[in-house]
Every structure is written in C-alpha cells, then in structure tokens.
Amino acid sequence: MKHFRTLLDLSEHEILTVLARAHQLKQLRGTASHPTPLARRSVAVVFEKASTRTRISFELGIHELGATPVMLDAARTQMGRGEPLEDTARLLGRYVDAVVYRTFEHTRIETMASEANVPVINGLSDDYHPCQILADLMTVQESGRELRGTKVCWVGDGNNVAHSWILAAGAMGMDLRLACPPGYEPDASIVKRGQSLDAGRIMVTHDVAAAAEGADVVTTDVWASMGQEEEAQKRKAAFASFQVDDSCMSRAAQDAIFLHCLPAHRGEEVTADVIDGAQSRVWDEAENRLHAQKALLEHLLQPSSADAAVESSPPATQRTAP
C-alpha cells in the first residue's frame, strides 16, 4: 500500500508514469474512451482548511474515474467536536478505499496514513503541497520542456509549495533557485533533504534578479498563506521587493512560463501584467490539478492498469509555448 504524503513517496519513474497518464487522461476527458478504473470504489476527501481547486479537482476527478467521492468538512464531523484523529482515520479506513486529507500540521497527514490502512493523499499540509507540484510538472512538460535540467525560479515565501518544489528538483534533476526575503527562507532541513537527493541543484538566495536569470519557469505564491493572516501587514513590508513583475520575467529565458498555485493577489506577489500575460500558464496549471490527481488516484488504487495504459499508448503530444 502506497501513500502520497510528499513527492518522495513516488520514485522518479513513478512520477513520470503518473504524469504520462495525466496527459492521456486529459486527452480522453469527455470522450467515450475515458476509463473508469475505480468503479465501485470510494474516496473520502477531508478538509480542515478552505479549498477551491483541491475540492473541485478531487471531487470531479474521483467521479470521472468511476468512484464515489465522499466530501467531508472536518468541522461538521465528529472531528469538530474533539474526536481523536486516530479514531477518525481508523473509521475511514473501514469505509473508503482512499483518503485525501487537507490539514495543518504535517504530522496529521502522517497520523492519518499510519492509522487509516488505506492510501492517504496529502491534499495540502503546512509543510508540503505535493498535488500542486504534480500539476506544475505536468504544465512544464506541456510547455515542451523535459523536466531534467529545467531551470526553475521561485520568488517569495519559503512555504509548503516551495518545499515541494525543493523535493521535486532533487528527485527530478531540476535546477531550482529560491529567492526569499531574509527570515522567510524554506526550512533548512527540507533544503538539505532535497540537496541530498543529488539529482538536481537547489540554491536559496535573497537576490530575485540572480534567481530569475535564464529561468525556464518563474513561480510564486501569496505572501501570507492560510493561517498567517495576522502576519499579513508585516509580511507585506518584508516581501515588497519580492514580486514577479516584467523586470523579473525579462531576466528569465525568452520563452519562460509563469506559474502560480492560486489564489493570487495581483499587485503583491505578482503584477497583473505577468499573471494575465502571454507567458502565464496559471489556468492550464489549475486545470492540470484535475488530470494529475486522477492519474495519481489510479496509480495508487489500480497501479497495474495505470502502468499498462501508459506502456501501451504513445506519449501524449505536448504543446509548446508561443
């Protein structure tokens, strides 16, 4: 039984297999040929944090694979009245075939995985957002790039999305440069873990211009994530010069793409000219949450059929950036 707590729960080969299947499922969506490999299965999706893209993409994706989605707002279950997480996890494991969990401390993901006895997918924790990075990697591929050797520039907070980029770079052989304000760098232990994988290059700097130089991908996130609202004004001052704007994009490669996990605050971490401009792929990226997560669910619950589908089909045609 496999979980998806962080990106490192999958090997490089498994990640590439999931991405290849995601491209196939994207092409097949809405056609009679779209598979329903999870028929008569059920997947619980448990939310302790607000969600738009995670909720929609998982609920639709589970349904499109033939399974029944069970969407749970934790505050409206017995969890909201103090039932121990361990008891909820054991119960879910008796009812459903997999659990998607969106929560706060990453230790809660680990607890769910250890007690549920079914595959557990991290729909977001304070430390990691691996489902987002699967969609991001898929979007990079759609721009016509191989993942290995791609140069990625992260601008802003060293948060959960940045942490997942660090693991992706280490696992997939990417060149990642993170430009973060002093005091807002990614967790040093996670940086060390990514660097220890020895497949990619990971550098943390306070210099946005240096990080963006020659980048194939420029990506960012909000300055204050969920649970940090009280720090918003303090962060606004600290992050003022850590914005993706035309100057930043001009230092990147001519055909560089811009990514953002959304929601976005135009005029803060990114200017409207960039996020709404020709280099932006944020809407493809958001859509790709659906396809990547469908492929992930199939891989975890029906690994043999997912792998066979990829092996028996030609590679999906990738779009190139204009």
Give the CATH number for residue 295.
3.40.50.1370
How many CB atoms neighbour CB 197 within 10 A?
18
The C-alpha atoms of residue 130 and residue 202 are separated, in whole angstroms, by: 17
> Is there a catalytic annotation at residue 289?
yes
Q: Are residues 54 and 75 in the same domain?
A: yes
Check residue 4 and report its DSSP letter: B
> Is there a catalytic annotation at residue 260?
no
More confident residue, 270 or 310: 270
> Is there a catalytic annotation at residue 29?
no
Q: Are residues 18 and 79 in the same domain?
A: yes
Q: Are residues 241 and 124 in the same domain?
A: no
Active-site residue, from 41, 289, 291, 299? 289
Active-site residue, from 261, 279, 291, 293? 261
Altogether, the residues listed in the chain come to a count of: 322
Q: Are residues 270 and 160 in the same domain?
A: yes
Rounded percentage of the chain residues whose pLDDT exceeds 90: 89
pLDDT at position 319, please?
Answer: 46
pLDDT band at 316 (very low <50, low <70, confident <90, very high): low
Active-site residue, from 3, 53, 129, 235? 129
Average pLDDT over residues 166-174: 98
Active-site residue, from 102, 163, 260, 291? 102
Give yes or no for residue 108 having a pLDDT over 80: yes
pTM score of the predicted model: 0.94
Q: Are residues 214 and 271 in the same domain?
A: yes
> Is there a catalytic annotation at residue 108?
no
pLDDT at position 226, please?
Answer: 65
Rounded percentage of the chain residues whose pLDDT exceeds 70: 95
pLDDT band at 215 (very low <50, low <70, confident <90, very high): very high
Active-site residue, from 24, 132, 141, 293? 132
Q: Are residues 175 and 223 in the same domain?
A: yes
Total number of domains constituting the chain: 2
Phi, psi of 128 (to 5 degrees): -145, 155
> Is there a catalytic annotation at residue 187?
no
Walk across the sheet containing 98-102 and list its strands: 68-73, 42-47, 98-102, 120-124
pLDDT at position 62, please?
Answer: 98
Per-residue pLDDT tens over the stretch 189-209: 999 999 999 889 999 999 999
pLDDT at position 304, please?
Answer: 76
Residues 6+ apart with CB under 8 A from 188: none
Domain membership flag for residue 92: yes
Domain membership flag for residue 110: yes
Give yes or no for residue 173 having a pLDDT over 60: yes
Domain membership flag for residue 232: yes
**Residues of the domain holding 27:** 7-129+289-311
> Is there a catalytic annotation at residue 261?
yes
Per-residue pLDDT tens over the stretch 42-95: 999 999 999 999 999 999 999 999 999 999 999 999 999 999 999 999 999 999
Q: Are residues 276 and 154 in the same domain?
A: yes
Domain membership flag for residue 2: no
Angle between helices 106-116 and 85-95 (to 10 degrees): 50
Task: Name residue 265's amino acid.
Answer: H
Per-residue pLDDT tens over the stretch 130-142: 999 999 999 999 9
pLDDT band at 308 (very low <50, low <70, confident <90, very high): confident
pLDDT at position 5, please?
Answer: 98
Domain membership flag for residue 57: yes
Average pLDDT over residues 218-236: 84
